[in-house]
Amino acid sequence: MRTVLAGREVVLSAGAIGSPQLLLLSGVGPAVHLNTHGIPMVADVAGVGRNLQDHPSVSGLSWTTNKGSAVSLFSMLNPKNIYAYLRHGLGPLSGPVFNEGNAWMPSVEGDPYWPDIQVPMLSGMLALDFGIFSSQFTGVDPEVYKEYFSDVLGREGFSMTPFLTRPLSRGTVTLASLDPHAHPLIDVNFFSHPADVTTLVRGIKQALRIGDTPAMMVEHGARFHKKVLRSCQDQEPYTDRYWGCFVRHMSNTAYHPVGTCKMAPNTDPLGVVDHRLRVRGVRGLRVVDASIMPLIVTGNTNAATIMIGEKAADLIKEDWCISTHHNHPSQFYLPLTFP
């Protein structure tokens, strides 16, 4: 055992999965859950591990194109293209890694600055690599993947994977055991709110309209991969009921988890940190990562998380009256014990 003393406070930045796990293991969390695992309670904070949000994305919407219009496995492995990139930074390998761009849009008529759908454009089909890696990346069952993409494996084309940017469903992160090296139990609880499926169906229709534009069909010979998903073949193809089934079978995480240590006022029973990111019921501890978001941002979480860190740095300096020219002596020590 080793004991570490913190001079002023501890900053926990383990992400929306790791931060609630560490708080729970340390005795900060819902009393009932802590008692279940026999963890001595330090602070009864009901919201730890609750309010998990993510951007579910739909895989499988793919279009074949004319040769040379999109990325293919053969163009990526072409020695000339590899040389052009390594020597001159040119060629198809010098572009974005598949993600050529994103569109944000409302799924129905409304405020264009409050989009609930994000549509990334991928410059390769999800069957580009014959399913060697992409079946794992998409999270789709390998047998389902192979059957659905069997006609277009290795073909040249592009894909669109609509994201739901304003999900209403909420999940949880809880402990599986007292072992800090054991993975926690992550229940994203996607589509527990039926409106999320409805919105993603509208997002699919938006993607289909983009794929059917003259710029895609005429200039690049885009043709939608119309294979009916076997799991949804009891629904009339391409109706709302079919696409709703498609969403439930072909969706995956966008790897944007947030919200499990949410910032909220004291009146919110599920709040974990205050407006200065200080953990309830614990002295000298802050959480600084995407887990403090009360609501997920309408897009990728990278930049927003960086700004949380920047703001937290300012808050810490303000609270401790720290400048670049003068540091105050330590006010207290917070003992931490770990194996």
Q: Which residues are catalytic?
A: 256
Place of tokens 């008529």: 109
Contact assessment for residue 248 and residue 283, using Cβ atoms and an 8 Å cutoff: no
Place of tokens 């192979």: 146
Residue 28: beta bridge partners? 43
Contact assessment for residue 100 and residue 123, using Cβ atoms and an 8 Å cutoff: yes
Rounded Cα distance, 44 and 258, in Å: 21
CA dist 249 to 72, 76, 139, 207, 215, Å? 26, 30, 10, 18, 30
Contact assessment for residue 43 and residue 278, using Cβ atoms and an 8 Å cutoff: no
User: Residue 11: in which H helix or E strand, if any?
Assistant: strand 10-12
Parallel, antiparallel, or unpaired for β 61-64 and 223-224?
Answer: antiparallel
